[in-house]
Amino acid sequence: METQIITTIDFRAIPTALKILASGGLVAFPTDTVYGVGGDAFNPQAIERIYKVKERPREKALPILLGDVVHLAEITPPLGRQAQRLVDVFWPGPLTLVLPARHTLPPQLSPSPTVGARIPDHGDTLSLLRASGSLAVTSANLSGQKSPRTAQEVLDQLGGRIELILDGGCTPGGEPSTVVDCTLPELKVLREGPTSLEQIRKILRV
């Protein structure tokens, strides 16, 4: 397979990505943290391909990126008060919330009845997500390797494995998102990242 690279400012970028995603293919693109590789969140075959091309262990769930908060209703029941507060304050941004998953989601996304979700703070990514709908997305690297911040770094690891890379230059972040489990009575930080534990605690105290 030949991996195509198109800059995000090219008028062909989103139409080409949408065509690939609709056929079950995979597209890599920049976010506010690192480059991600994604496929249709409701297509089991696309999800399976993400695991295969990344050589990702099956016990590691795939999060979903959303283009708008209204799409949360497609993947999870109504949020609790604390989770809603985090959404209101930190989205769009580098904060992933682990939430109860709707039974309509493909089971390939996660070995548990939960789903990770976030809205990234990146214009190019949001334009794609608003056109494509929800995408299952994880860092565009081989499992265990360095998360890429440029299209070239994605190509070095996933070239020949995915159909398209959207080149938006170097990502502004570089650190994977903070992950908070919102399925417990008391919220738990599973991975610290750009959104600090102190920031989260401060907001929840208000």
Sequence ranges of the domains in the chain: 4-205
What is the average pLDDT across 101-120? 96
Q: For the chain, give the number of residues.
A: 206
CB atoms within 10 A of CB 160: 9
What is the average pLDDT across 171-190? 92
4-205: CATH class: alpha beta
Determine the pLDDT at residue 204.
Answer: 85
Determine the pLDDT at residue 205.
Answer: 80
Q: Rounded to an integer, what is the distance from CA 184 to the centroid of its chain?
A: 22
H-helix or E-strand containing 39? strand 36-40
pLDDT exceeds 90 at position 190 = yes
Determine the pLDDT at residue 173.
Answer: 86
The pLDDT mean for the chain works out to: 96
Of the candidates 200, 162, 168, the one whose C-alpha atom is nearest the C-alpha of residue 35 is 168
CB atoms within 10 A of CB 123: 13
Determine the pLDDT at residue 206.
Answer: 55
What's the pLDDT band for 26 if we cut at 50, 70, 90? very high
pLDDT exceeds 80 at position 133 = yes
Would the pTM of this model clear 0.85, i.e. be above it?
Answer: yes
Which tens digit of pLDDT belongs to each residue from 49-68? 999 999 999 999 999 999 99
